[in-house]
Structure 1
């Protein structure tokens, strides 16, 4: 069988010089890598105590966060929900039944050996239940005509809920009306109307904002709010008699 033999071709001088240069460059790269690795090893060896401390601290933070959520925050929230049950029941009974003042007081301060909303706020600070208790407490104070406490507790409530978020702002507006701080009331009614867009809270607070604006002599602003109700929320309760308010606002605006 014939065997293929590769012919050897002598390298030129230029090719030899190129190979030498290429080899030198490769050697330099490896030398640089070796030097870098040596420096890194030296740095790690010198500072390994501090590196291990940093790694340990990071691990503690991560594990601590997970542990806090699982073994502290979660059980605390569950306990808060259980302790809040009776106070919430009193609140619901006050809204839907008779003897409202006494029931709102029980919702605030507790009864039958159970926590009230104020206890929940104090004992379970930082939990979702304590946040919700601020809404209930503020609304209860509003119903009891303690308007300053109503503003304080409702201002502490934070929520993304479609209805509650707007109601909290609107309730603050109601409290400021009773405190005869009408400019503040208008501001909160406007916030309540703008923060959510639905058929319930939006037209309700547009109407309240329009009424206060009229009272403050801001007929143009009132007219804008009443027209929005007519145009955007024609099936709402507030739209039923909004033409009367539009007519009044137009008369005052043209004076």
Structure 2
């Protein structure tokens, strides 16, 4: 069948080739604008850098110098100090451990003093804490010193050294706080002692230190007339740490706390 164009008919759409050509022209125009903007931005950045070249380079050099100094400090100062402090701490730790195991009171006290003050030219715990305060060994020396002073009944010094000790260790952290509580109890300051027992009980929950200091917190709370707090702490020992050594003693004190309410 023959086809024909109606007279006066005009296509409503442009030929495909013309549309493609226009699209390419538009794309090239847009791309040129983008690159033009990028060139302009680059030129502005270059101009800014040229104007501020000296301070920028100064900042970069400063950062590099600080980084190098930090690395050098760690390599040539901090690391040797850590090793030296750890080496000095060994003898004092040995004396402390021997004192713990001793059964004779006078021998124990003597060994604790050796641990604190050193012997035969060797550093004691106090020397390590004073001379290597920024090291892990110096920090640990404060813990041992505090515990040693607690054992020889110098409670103020025990508190001072234990407060200088800082750790996230699961056992040492609560033991240090609890020992401060013990020292305050010996000084006749149960209110302060209770605060430290509560802190110790709340640190790093475990089957050893947590029931120990919950129990001490409960007993101290009874002494202070804080029976609600005592019931809370003692009940927690009974329910959550039933197999601990302190659980067997809870009922007696729990009864006192409940009777006082």
TM-score clears 0.5: yes
Q: Which is worse superposed, 237-246 or 204-213? A: 237-246
Gaps of 5+ in 1: 1-8
Which residue matches 1:125? 133
One of 148, 151, 157 as aligned partner of 1:140: 148
One of 56, 67, 70 as aligned partner of 2:72: 67
Q: Tell me how far apart the structure 2 counterparts of residues 187 and 165 of structure 1 sit (CA, whole Å).
A: 15
Q: For residues 180-200 of structure 1, what are the alpha-carbon distances to aligned partners after superposition, in whole Å with 9 as ceiling and x for unaligned?
A: 111110010011111121111
Q: Tell me how far apart the structure 1 counterparts of residues 216 and 144 of structure 2 sit (CA, whole Å).
A: 22
The within-5 A match list for 1:88-99 is: 88-97=93-102, 98=104, 99=107
Which residue matches 1:211? 219
| Change in 2 beyond 3 A, CA 1:226/1:19 | closer
Which residue matches 2:184? 176
Q: CA deviation at 1:139?
A: 1.0
One of 22, 33, 37 as aligned partner of 1:32: 37
Q: What's the TM-score, normalizing by structure 2?
A: 0.86
Which residue matches 2:256? 248
Gaps of 5+ in 2: 1-14
Which residue matches 1:76? 81
The alignment covers a number of residue pairs equal to: 244
One of 164, 182, 194 as aligned partner of 1:186: 194
Q: CA deviation at 1:68?
A: 2.1
| Change in 2 beyond 3 A, CA 1:23/1:151 | same
Q: Tell me how far apart the structure 1 counterparts of residues 24 and 211 of structure 2 sit (CA, whole Å).
A: 84
The CA RMSD measured in Å over matched residues stands at 2.1
Q: Tell me how far apart the structure 1 counterparts of residues 87 and 30 of structure 2 sit (CA, whole Å).
A: 74
